[in-house]
Structure 1
Amino acid sequence: MMKLSLGPILWFWSRQTVFDFYANAAEWPVDTIYLGEAVCSRRRELKPDDWFDLARDLKACGKDVVLSTQTLIESEADLRRLRRICDQNEFAVEANDQSALQVAIRNNLPFITGPSMNIYNVATLKILAKQGLKGWNLPVELGKETLEQLIRGLESEGLDVPSEVFAWGFLPLAWSSRCFTARHYNLPKDNCEFRCIEHPDGMELRSRESEELFRINGISTLSGSRYDLMRELPDMQRMGVSTVRLSPEHLDMDEVVNRFDQARRGETPASDPLQLVEAPPCNGYWYGKPGMELVG
């Protein structure tokens, strides 16, 4: 049966909110949980030791735990934090940029590539498989046609490298050295007053026609529409997808997990996942169309 994973929390939440979220997640029917700060180095509500303690607690609850790395490395301090994550042998890591990839390979640490990694062909996966790759995420802008080609290509090469698909949540699209949340408040990035914590699911960015185009989340820009591939799970099972990823939001995430759990078991949920934050659904990328479109 296809697995469910919880991606890393992409938003800036308080320390207690994070602990409460994972205390609940320990009871949810998810198989894998990704932990760590993947967006901004200034978000320090949790220290590295806190993440390690959470990882051990969740592992004791029967979850597979993967430590996620920062997507945009900008300084020596960022590299030190990355090395700290990779200087352990208890957990695999999710490499979200080339720096993490190199450190994990150098340390002979099992790694999974995150959806921000540019993996578009079997040749890349074949090279990484020889260096410790234990799983890979389809880049969010790619669809089912490319995914099926890659899975079949891996099979033809005799490579058992499980694939994972981002299936629910706001799509992380881009990262910048500039902090857009700080700019919104007319603050410098290095003195941002941690305003992201006031927006637990990001800030809406609308067009002049009031269409929600993006969500601003510090240095990260996400889709304004929420990606929802729950109805596409049968396609994924047919293709041989190993895991579907659900991206955390701060309210009623258990409802989303339970509905996806029903869907992967072949049951038809009574309704689609709750729209926890008011936003239109989308699935365009899956069908090779503009990402914000909704097909079907």
Structure 2
Amino acid sequence: MKLSLGPLQYFWPREQVLAFYREAVSWPLDILYLGETVCSKRRELRTRDWLALAEELAASGKQIVLSSLALIEAESELGAVQRQVDNGRFLLEANDLSAVQLCRERGLPFVAGPTLNIYNHRALQMLVEDGLQRWVPGVEQGRQLLEDIRAGMAAADTPMPELEMLAWGRLPLAYSARCFTARALDVPKDQCGFRCIEHPDGLPLATREGEPFMVINGIQIQGMETVDMAPERDELAACGVEILRLSPQHRGMAEVVSRFQQMLQAPQPVPRVGARNGYWEGAPGMDALSA
């Protein structure tokens, strides 16, 4: 198995982002994903900055992949994706079908990101014909669905693409055209003041009873718990998963990567240090957290 560092979900200051990736390039990772996937208003780094950073980090020998927005709402945002597609060197993680179409028109291979709606082998087969090289299933897609899709692809005599699964991080649960952070802070979306930069791991949301519930991250809602799928290593491998994705967090990321690298070399599954992923097992999420 390989390890990848998924795209940064949160909004951090420019210098912090650059310092993070310049440190990350020394970690035992195989793949680095770069780019803004959540909100186009987050412009501490613009498209040209991400491309320059990609060029810099590529010297390490790691695979660099550019990640597109998950929700494209304006012509300017589509133009940014087009610049990513036309970079001439790096693979694109397409998180919206418009990015898939741009790659298809140019005959370019791409990674199918977790926000593409792929729920059966026919959809996957169609995207493979369009150039899909690697698939990152959505966080709600569990073991049984993967097994069903693999069986369908085999019956259709179509090879499975490379499979990558989120193995560490909070689960992105929903995206909206509205900004949850702006709403929570009672400011208009167009006058948000980039307030999410004040919450480097998202804004925690509690129930009326004061119980931790979810995390608000701009237009994205995440689960509260950090999911750890290291103990499912052998199950993931049996389902054809070849890459484990680790989602960046504000602190302790080097230790997370080191633990997963050691886990891959361990003869037996390691103890869980985060939450169980209920989706993987087809179980209710809150029940799985207490298991």
Q: TM-score range by the shorter chain?
A: over 0.9
The residue type paired with residue 294 of structure 1 is L
> Structure 2 unaligned runs (5+)?
none
Q: Aligned-residue CA RMSD in angstroms?
A: 1.7
Instruction: Give secondary structure in 1 for the equivalent of 2:45.
Output: coil
The residue type paired with residue 125 of structure 1 is L
TM-score scaled by length of structure 2: 0.94
Residue 160 of structure 1 deviates from its aligned partner by 4.1
Aligned match of 1:294? 289
TM-score scaled by length of structure 1: 0.93
> Separation in 2 of the partners of 1:262 and 1:272?
14
Aligned match of 1:278? none
Residue 124 of structure 1 deviates from its aligned partner by 1.1
8 Å contact kept, 1:283–1:295 = no
Residue 12 of structure 1 deviates from its aligned partner by 0.1
Taking the TM superposition and a 5 Å limit, the aligned residue runs for 1:12-91 are 12-91=11-90
Residue 151 of structure 1 deviates from its aligned partner by 2.8
Aligned match of 1:251? 251
8 Å contact kept, 1:234–1:264 = no
Instruction: Give secondary structure in 2 for the equivalent of 1:23.
Output: helix
Residue 29 of structure 1 deviates from its aligned partner by 0.9
Change (3 A) 1:204 1:233: same
Note the alpha carbon deviations across 1:233-290, whole angstroms, 9 max, x for none: 11112222111111100111011111111112235688655x6xxxxx2311110012
The residue type paired with residue 46 of structure 1 is L
Instruction: Give secondary structure in 1 for the equivalent of 2:56.
Output: helix
Aligned match of 2:130? 131
The residue type paired with residue 198 of structure 1 is E
> Separation in 2 of the partners of 1:126 and 1:108?
16
Residue 46 of structure 1 deviates from its aligned partner by 0.5
Aligned match of 1:282? 276
Give yes or no for the alignment of 1:97 onto 2:110.
no
> Separation in 2 of the partners of 1:84 and 1:117?
20
The residue type paired with residue 199 of structure 1 is H
Residue 209 of structure 1 deviates from its aligned partner by 2.9
8 Å contact kept, 1:14–1:45 = yes
8 Å contact kept, 1:164–1:242 = yes
> Separation in 1 of the partners of 2:197 and 2:178?
17
Taking the TM superposition and a 5 Å limit, the aligned residue runs for 1:106-185 are 106-156=105-155, 157-185=157-185
